[in-house]
Amino acid sequence: MENVVELKNVTKQFKDFSVKNIDLQVKKGFITGLLGQMVPVSRPQSK
């Protein structure tokens, strides 16, 4: 299945720490969101 969103080597800086070199891929037909301070959630769309 093809990717509709793809991020590579992303860094997010917070006040006290950072998250480095995150990769994220969202496949076609999936709904994805980020919750809180970088918790990815992904699931297939229901038809």
Instruction: Using the predicted structure, report yes or no on whether residue 47 has a pLDDT greater than 70.
Output: no
For residues 5 and 24, what is the distance between their CA atoms, to the nearest angstrom?
Answer: 8
Identify the bridge partners of residue 6 per DSSP, sorted by sequence position.
Answer: 25
Q: Contact 12/18 with Cβ under 8 angstroms?
A: yes
**Res 33: pLDDT:** 75
Distance CA 39, CA 13 (A): 15
Task: Check: CB of residue 38 under 8 Å from CB of residue 21.
Answer: no
Q: Domain tally for the chain?
A: 1
pLDDT band for 45, please (50, 70, 90 cuts): low
- Kindly report, residue by residue over 5-32, the tens digit of the pLDDT: 999 998 888 788 888 998 989 999 888 8
Neighbours of 26 (CB within 10 A): 15
Q: The domain containing residue 8 runs over which residues? A: 3-44
pTM above 0.75, yes or no: no
